[in-house]
Each structure stands twice: as C-alpha cells, then as structure tokens.
Amino acid sequence: MKEYIFKHKLLLILTVGVRIVGSIMQVFIAILIQQVIDVAVLGDMNKFVSLLIFSMAYFMVMGLVDYLTSTTQAIYLKKTLIDLKKDLFKGLMAKDYENYMQHNTADYLSHLTNDLNLVETNYITPYLMMIGDAVIFVLTVVVLVWINPWVTLSMFLLGGLLIIIPSLFGKKLEYLQNHVSDQLSVFTTNVKDILQGYEVVKSYQMMDTVSQEFDEINNGLETAKFKSAHLKGIAQAVSMIFAIATQIAGMAIGGYFVIMGSMTVGSLFAVVQLGNGIQGPIMWIMQKVTLIKGMKGINAKLSDIIEVGRTQETKESLTEFQDKIALQNISFSYDQEKIVLNNLSITFEKGKKYAIVGGSGCGKTTLVKLIMGYYQTYEGQILIDGKDVQSPKRFSLHQLASMIHQNVYLFDKDIESNIVLGETFSEHHLQKAMARSGVLKFVNSLSNGIKSAVGENGKNLSGGQKQRVAIARALIQETPILILDEGTSALDNQTAFDIENTLLNLSELTVLTITHKLNEEILSQYDQIIVMDSGEIVQSGTYKELASVEGEFKTLMTLLPKEASNAA
C-alpha cells in the first residue's frame, strides 16, 4: 500500500515542500513573538510598530501557504485515491468466478467505500502530516537550543516519553480497527439484503423482524466504532498529559532563568510558544503512528485484492470456431465432497443445435459454465477445435460465445445501453437483434423507446421484457455459439416458442439450450437432446429416438405439466 504514497512523486514533493514551508513559518512565530515583547519591554515605539506591520504581512503569507498546503494535498489525495480505487476495482473484476462468488457483493462495496475511507484518513493523510510535524520538531529543538539548552533538555526528556504510547496501544487499536472494518461489511451486506427484499418484507409483514435485525447489526457497528474511538481517546489523553507536563516544565525552568536574569521575558514567551513544537509534534506523530499501525490488517486485505489484478493470467481469446467443442472425462465438484459432474464426455459440433434437459440439480448449468470458463478446478479436458483451454497458453471462449443467463441482470441504464453493453453497433444490427428477441414488440409502446430507463436491475420492466433484452444483447454480438440457460423461462409459451424457433433456424449458429420446456415441435428441431441425471449423461439422441424408448427422457416428458408442452 505504501507504493501509492510515492506513485505521483512530483506532486508528492510539491505537497510536502509547501507543508515544510508552512511548518518553518509556524516555528518562527515564536521568534517573532520574542522580538515584539522584548521591544515592547524596552519601550522602542518605532521598532514596535515596524514589527507589528511585519507580523501582519507575515501572517498573511502564512495564510496563503496554508491554502496552498490544503490545495496541493487535496490534488495529491485525489490522484492517489483514483489510482488506488482503479487498481482495487481491477483486482475485484480480475477474480475468477469461483473466487468472486465466495463473498457477498456488499463486502466488495465495503472495500471500495469504507475501507478506502479508512486508508485515506488513517494511513495516507497521516503520512503527509507527519512530515510537517517532524520539521516543526527539528526546527523547534534548534531554536530552543539557541535560546537556552537547559530548557530544551528538560522539555526533550519529558516529550520523549510520548514515544512509548504507540507500543502501548498499537496492537489493540489494530484489532479494533479491523473489527470496525468487518462490522461495516456486515452492516452493508445485511442492509443491502433487506432493502433488496423490500417487496417480500411488505408482503409478509416482516417489519418487526427486519427492524430487530437492523437494530442488532446497527448496534454491533456502532459498538465497534465506539470501542475503537474510546481507545484512541485514551491514547490521546495519555499523550496530552505528557505534553502538558513538558510545557509546564519548560515554563518553570524558563521562568527560573528569567528571574536569574539570563533570559528575557520575550524569550520566556518564545519558550512557551515553542513548547508546542516539542510536545505537539511528538504527540501528533505518535497518534499518527498508532493510526498507521492500526491499518496493517486492512491494508493487507486490500493489497491482496489489488495483487489479483496484477497477476491475472492472460488468456488467449479464440477468434474463430471451425469444428467442435469436446469435453473428455470431465469431473467437477464445488466442495470436494458432492460430485456435480462425473466423468462426463460430450462433443458439440459447429452449426448444430443441442438441448440439455434433466431434473433440477443434475449439473446442466454447471456443464455450460465449465465450457464458458467459469471454473478452473475440474478433472479432464475441454477442447475447442482441438485446443485445451487449460493448456499453458490458456484459451478463452468469450469472444466466440454469448450466454443468456437464467437470472437476468440489467444495469440501471436505458434499454439500448443494456443491449449494446458499451459497444458500438450499426442501427441495422440493433434493429435485427431487437426483432429476433422480441424487444420491438414492447419497446415501441414505451414513451422513450429504447432510451427508456430500466431502473435498478430492470425493475421498470416485467420478467419477460427483461429476458427479451438479455436475448437481444446476446444476439447483437453475433457470436457463432449461443448458450441459453433457461433463456426463455420468463416468457409466455408462444413468445418463447417464436424466439426459440427463430434461433434454431439460424443455420450458422451453434446453440446449446438448457430447458425445462419439453415442447415436441421445438425439441424435434434439435440435432441432439442430451439428458442428464446426477451429473452424468444418461441418454442422448434426437427427439424421435428418445421418445420411442423407455428412459429418463420419457419420464421427464410424463412429469411435465401439459401446458408446458404447448406452443401457445
């Protein structure tokens, strides 16, 4: 994480340089005070007035330097945090599907918001401010030695006791700040879950239940924040006690030397002013060191995610599909216990249409996700035109295949944006995709047409309309392979029949369809129907072949509701 502090070196030097100038000017206020008071005691009016005018100009320049300090620091933090967030986001997006799904999306949101706020306030900013504190401390010691070395020695010894504070509180504060980070993640996760389930909460009168749940996580978060703030308060109070003791010692010894006639009254005022330059910087530095040490766990967590983006294995994207996809002896399990796919072998030839059927949990979706590269920890081989996707070069199918997911997700943008997904397509391609997917049937009735906002996850559209948009965005890519994972399940039977019939008549397209709608007229158009059960292929063949023999396929046909087999 420290590398980000030094990433913009010139801007860092400028920021630090301006802060150093401000720190130098702050120390020399003491000398200015000394001169003004000594001149006043001597009764030299002309010199007194001149010093006052100079002091006014001096403080105006200090104000300008303070403005430049704030501005350069703000620019530096902006650029640094943009880079940090960019790399963190890249790391999150670079996670493989299996790893990404191990955590809630709210955890990732918490990393990008709460944890990065802590990095800014408890790590990067303290580093910048410590430089100014160190300059104030060094210059203060020099000026104090010039005024009176004995006063300097006494203040330095007492101020040095402040150094022990990070060792007393650092470890405990690190634990408490990590706990705050964890509780922020828990809070974000649970509140997101409750808000997304608003309709269920209302429908089932769950207000008391969710209110109690919210109160518990809210109390947990605020309690964790209180414990962290409480310990910080103790550390700051102990620091302040030592700081005040240091200043009192300086005043006492300085007063003694004034009485003895070896120091002027102005020098005593300067010592009092400079006392803040001994105990203040030490106290501030120790507080900041404590904060920085407390960030160790959070920094490590974020650095691990960033490293994923840097070490992401580059896959060679295949640009042509010429022959077939072959799965040989594929076995896969999610938790090393329950086998989802068991020694499965199947070949999908270019231009042919395949229907994959079977009961829930038999491995259909896992099969197509393996083909798409979602999972890497499988046994066997997946070959695309004879190239093993797990070979040292590692090949990706994403440029050759589009997948229509069972659970459609729409971004909170307009319909067109959810179809083109940031790419540029001709009006002809857009209209063709919308026509084939059935989007045109409803989009023209909307006041803003394809520019109509879909809302959060498509809440402004019906389930069927959302699925048509998902089909359109797959078709507009014009990839040679199309995978539908229950891709028409939210459509009425007639619309689903029409769209699927259209897709099956595209001779250049290789289609893999997972379906529960065993419509005879549609299934008869598939070149091969693959029947799965318990992670294995138990039957395969054309509709006519499978329907004429006893087996799992015939059983599935019998169990289906009658209306599911009707086109209308």
274-283, 309-318, 433-442 — most confident range: 433-442
Token pair 């306030």: residue = 121
pLDDT in tens, 328-341: 999 999 877 788 99
Q: Residue 76: is its pLDDT beyond 50?
A: yes
Nearest of 476, 252, 481 to residue 348 by alpha carbon: 481
**Could you identify the residue written with the tokens 């210059």?**
139
C-alpha to C-alpha distance for 139 and 54, rounded to whole angstroms: 21
Taking the CB of residue 357, how many other CB atoms lie within 10 A of it?
A: 25
Taking only the tens place, the pLDDT of each residue in 249-274 is 767 777 777 777 777 777 777 777 77
Separation between Cα atoms, residue 294 and residue 296, nearest integer Å:
6
Q: What whole-number distance in Å separates Cα of residue 158 and Cα of residue 176?
A: 29
CA atoms 506, 511, 515, 520: torsion sign:
positive
Residue 315: pLDDT band (50, 70, 90) is low
128 token code pair: 């910048």
Q: How many Å apart are CA 66 and CA 5, to the nearest integer?
A: 21
Given this model, what pLDDT does residue 240 score? 74
Tokens of 171: 């470890």
Asked if residue 438 lies in contact with residue 495, where contact means CB atoms within 8 angstroms, the answer is yes
Lookup: tokens for 27: 């120390």
In this structure, whether the domain defined by 324-565 belongs to CATH 3.40.50.9100 is answered with no
Interval 341-361: pLDDT, tens: 999 999 999 999 999 998 888
**Per-residue confidence at 568, pLDDT binned at 50, 70, 90?**
very low
Is the distance from CB of 504 to CB of 526 less than 8 angstroms? yes
Is residue 404 within 8 A of residue 438, CB to CB? The reply is no
In this predicted structure, what is the pLDDT of residue 505? 87
The region of weakest confidence among 72-86, 179-193, 259-273 is 259-273
Q: Mind giving me the DSSP string for 494-524?
A: HHHHHHHHHHHT-TT-EEEEE-S---HHHHT
pLDDT at 162: 61
Is residue 119 pLDDT above 80, yes or no?
yes
pLDDT confidence of residue 63: 94
In DSSP terms, 254 is beta-bridged to none
Instruction: For the chain, give every residue range classified as CATH 1.20.1560.10.
Output: 2-306
pLDDT for 73: 93
- The length of the chain in residues reads 568
For 106-110, 121-125, 536-540, which range has the lowest pLDDT when averaged over its residues? Answer: 106-110
Q: Pick the range with the lowest mean pLDDT from 190-194, 254-258, 446-450, 547-551.
A: 254-258
Residue 565: predicted pLDDT = 43
pLDDT at 244 > cutoff 80: no
DSSP 8-state code for residue 315: P
Query: In the CATH scheme, what architecture does the domain 2-306 have?
Result: Up-down Bundle (1.20)
- Per-residue pLDDT, averaged over 470-488, amounts to 89
The amino acid present at 64, given as its one-letter code, is: L
Residue 309 pLDDT exceeds 70: yes
Q: Which tens digit of pLDDT belongs to each residue from 121-134?
A: 889 998 888 888 88
By the 8 A CB rule, do 461 and 413 touch? no
What pLDDT, on the 0 to 100 scale, is given for residue 508? 86
Q: Which residues pair with 259 in a beta bridge?
A: none
Total Cβ atoms within 10 A of residue 204? 10
Please give the average per-residue pLDDT across 24-44, as a whole number.
83
Q: What is the pLDDT of residues 127-175, one digit of tens each?
A: 888 888 888 888 877 877 787 777 767 766 666 666 666 667 767 877 8
pLDDT at 160: 62
Question: Does the pLDDT at position 362 exceed 60?
Answer: yes
Phi, psi of 161 (to 5 degrees): -65, -20
Q: Which of 118-127, 240-249, 345-354, 547-556 has the highest mean pLDDT?
A: 345-354
pLDDT value at residue 567: 39
- Res. 511: pLDDT tops 90: yes
Tokens of 266: 């102005």
Mean pLDDT of 405-426: 88
- Does 561 have pLDDT greater than 50? no
285-307: average pLDDT: 84
Percent of all residues in the chain with a pLDDT value above 90, rounded to a whole number:
27
Q: Which residues in the chain are classed under CATH 3.40.50.300?
A: 324-565
Based on the number of CB atoms within 10 Å of its own CB, is 49 exposed (0-12), middle (13-18) or buried (19 or more)? Answer: exposed
How high does pLDDT run on average in the chain?
Answer: 84
Separation between Cα atoms, residue 58 and residue 54, nearest integer Å: 6
pLDDT above 50: residue 62? yes
The pLDDT of residue 562 is above 60: no
What's the whole-number mean pLDDT along residues 313-331?
82
